[in-house]
């Protein structure tokens, strides 16, 4: 029996991206800055008006803490991270190494109490 291939729906993918961005409390402008794209282009991605390069997909997925499978097809084979974990990863992933190391040290001290 043939398996049905998932279909890439730009509008559905854009809606998943928007939903994840909003749950993280990020503006479109901030998200566009994080992936190095113009705000209008990023807004068009969320609306499903345009496709994206693989590099852009990877940047978006990394910033939002989601898999490409989830972003593109709405499927994921790994357990979903909590919203707090996604927010933490977003902020740690978007600061320089010195700040990240300091933040991890502070978290270790705080959580070991």
pLDDT, tens digit, for every residue of 35-77?
999 999 999 999 999 989 999 999 999 888 888 888 998 876 6
Q: Contact, 93 vs 63, CB < 8 A?
A: yes
pLDDT value for 40: 97
Its pTM stands at 0.70
Query: CA-CA distance, 8 to 19, in Å (whole number)?
Result: 17
Q: Which two tokens stand for residue 44?
A: 């068009």
Same domain, 68 and 99: no
More confident site: 107 or 16? 16
Same domain, 30 and 41: yes
Same domain, 88 and 62: no
Query: CA-CA distance, 70 to 13, in Å (whole number)?
Result: 8
Cα separations in angstroms, 61 against 58, 66, 87, 90: 5, 5, 13, 11
Domain that holds residue 22: 1-78
Query: CA-CA distance, 97 to 46, in Å (whole number)?
Result: 30
Q: Contact, 47 vs 14, CB < 8 A?
A: yes
Q: Dihedral through CA 34, CA 36, CA 40, CA 42, nearest 10?
A: -60
pLDDT value for 1: 56
Same domain, 20 and 59: yes
């Amino acid at each position: 029996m043939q398996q049905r291939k998932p279909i890439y729906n730009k509008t559905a993918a854009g809606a998943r991206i928007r939903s994840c961005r909003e749950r993280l409390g990020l503006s479109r402008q901030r998200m566009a800055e994080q992936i190095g794209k113009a705000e209008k282009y990023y807004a068009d991605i969320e609306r499903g008006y345009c496709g994206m390069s693989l590099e852009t997909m990877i940047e978006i997925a990394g910033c939002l803490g989601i898999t490409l499978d989830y972003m593109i097809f709405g499927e994921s084979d790994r357990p979903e991270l909590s919203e707090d974990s996604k927010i933490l990863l977003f902020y740690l992933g978007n600061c320089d190494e010195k700040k990240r190391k300091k933040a991890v040290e502070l978290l270790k001290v705080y959580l070991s109490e």
